[in-house]
Structure 1
Amino acid sequence: MAKVHPQAPLSSSSPGYFTSKQETFTIWMKSLILNGHGCTVFDSNGQIVYRVDNYDSRGRAKVHLMDLKGQILFTILRKKSKFLGVWEGYRSSNGKEINLKNTPRFQVRRSFKGKSACKVIVGLDKNQIQQYRIESWSKGKSACKILDKFGRLVAEVKRKQSTCGVVLGEDVLTLVVEPFMDHSLIVGLLVVYGLINRKL
């Protein structure tokens, strides 16, 4: 089997979540756990920076976005709603299970109107609430883009191409994140998008 990112060994160094330049990641829609569901995210050097491992089934109601060491960054929960799917992301401050009595860091609601696949609210516990939307532009529901409330591009996901222009399989994606965005938050939002579309 071909390697998704063959040029660099695994690293245990913790990544910075913000950078002042555009960053590119590779998302492999596979878990590192045998017979598990999830995804693995590599940085531009081929080092694993984020992972999601579901042991039971796709589309679980509770998943953890972790770093390479298995420290929890976000716990993502599906809330029961009569009409719309609602997901909430709780940031972990100590890398362990979070207190669900805390206010979630973000909320994602599935949208059935217009071009938006999902509506996102970030910063539910603060006065400065940020709003985003996730738009799907692929029949396979893998490729998408995240826009802010003014329609500016924040992040984009599409099928990965090799250096010689060959498009890789549907389970290998490129994520491009614009400067000064929290990479872990963007990956958390994409995890919800994958859960909604039963890709994880």
Structure 2
Amino acid sequence: MKMFRFLKSTSRTVHEEEEQHEQEHKTTESTNQGGASTSLTVWRKSLLISCNGFTVIGSNGDLVYRVDNYSGRPEEITLMDAPGKPVLTILRRRKTLRLVDSWRVYEGEAGDGEDCRRASKSSEEKPVWSIRKHIKNILNPINPKPKPNAIAYVCRGGEDKSAYVVEGSYAERSCKVWNESRRVVVAEIKRKEASKGGVSFGLEVFLLVVHPGFDPGFAMALVLVLDQMFA
């Protein structure tokens, strides 16, 4: 696909420029964590014509992650690596007694399919992460001291206390994921702009910057949940 080839080439160029810029202007958060950040180009489109999904390209222009969602399974999203092996599964829980929907993240493949029904039954009790949307002006037991720009809270497993908070605006592709205990930025969602040629990518193509020590796969899972929350 022409767009995919174009994104591969621009991701290399933009990454090189970002790397130079990062060396000159290191942020406090990156300095505290040490090492270099990982920059991923996220395209809000599946490479398969019959699917909705995402295509994630690394700084070297290679495919890193992919999401291929067939219609009829909106409650379940599987994040796969380039060859198609499941990395994480995201299950959406529709609100019943709760005020808002919640999302649970599991390792590998977990869902209601025939091959993974047993895994789903056991993993339902032990999600790796749970994510909830922030509701303004309502007492939030997950984070009793909500941040002014908070849009989502991330808890470990089945815990109620948030480990990470997402701030900013996904609609504008401008978000930061904060580690609650350390108060450092671990990942960022940014607009992608090509400095050469005046190319504008709009909202369908953007950057996911992952700082050292944070899992890029989980950072991408957060993008998928935010997309369901605010798309």
TM-score range normalised by the length of the shorter chain: 0.7 to 0.9
- Residues 180-191 of structure 1: pairs in structure 2 closer than 5 A: 180-191=213-224
CA distance in 2: counterparts of 1:93 and 1:34, whole angstroms: 23
- What amino acid does structure 1 have at the position aligned with 2:127? P
- Residues 75-114 of structure 1: pairs in structure 2 closer than 5 A: 75-81=89-95, 82-92=98-108, 97=116, 99-100=119-120, 101-102=122-123, 103-113=126-136, 114=148
RMSD between superposed Cα atoms in Å: 2.7
Deviation at 1:168, TM superposition (A): 1.8
CA distance in 2: counterparts of 1:167 and 1:70, whole angstroms: 30
CA distance in 2: counterparts of 1:97 and 1:7, whole angstroms: 38
SS of the residue corresponding to residue 27 of structure 1 reads: strand
- Indicate the residue corresponding to 2:26 in structure 1: none
Query: For the structure 1 residues 166 and 190, does the alpha-carbon distance in structure 2 shift closer, same or farther, using more than 3 Å as the test?
Result: same
Gaps of 5+ in 1: 9-18
Deviation at 1:162, TM superposition (A): 1.1
Deviation at 1:89, TM superposition (A): 0.5
- Residues 1-200 of structure 1: pairs in structure 2 closer than 5 A: 2=3, 3-6=6-9, 20-56=35-71, 60-81=74-95, 82-92=98-108, 97=116, 99-100=119-120, 101-102=122-123, 103-113=126-136, 114-122=148-156, 124=157, 131-137=163-169, 140-149=171-180, 150-164=182-196, 166-198=199-231
- What amino acid does structure 2 have at the position aligned with 1:88? R
- What amino acid does structure 2 have at the position aligned with 1:25? L
CA contact (8 A) 2:101 2:132 kept: yes
CA distance in 2: counterparts of 1:177 and 1:83, whole angstroms: 31
CA distance in 2: counterparts of 1:117 and 1:130, whole angstroms: 13
CA distance in 1: counterparts of 2:69 and 2:188, whole angstroms: 24
Higher relative contact order, structure no. (Cα contacts within 8 Å, ≥ 6 residues apart): 1
SS of the residue corresponding to residue 4 of structure 1 reads: helix
TM-score (norm 1): 0.80
CA contact (8 A) 2:153 2:162 kept: no
TM-score (norm 2): 0.70
CA distance in 1: counterparts of 2:195 and 2:172, whole angstroms: 24
CA contact (8 A) 2:88 2:109 kept: no
Identity level (%):
29
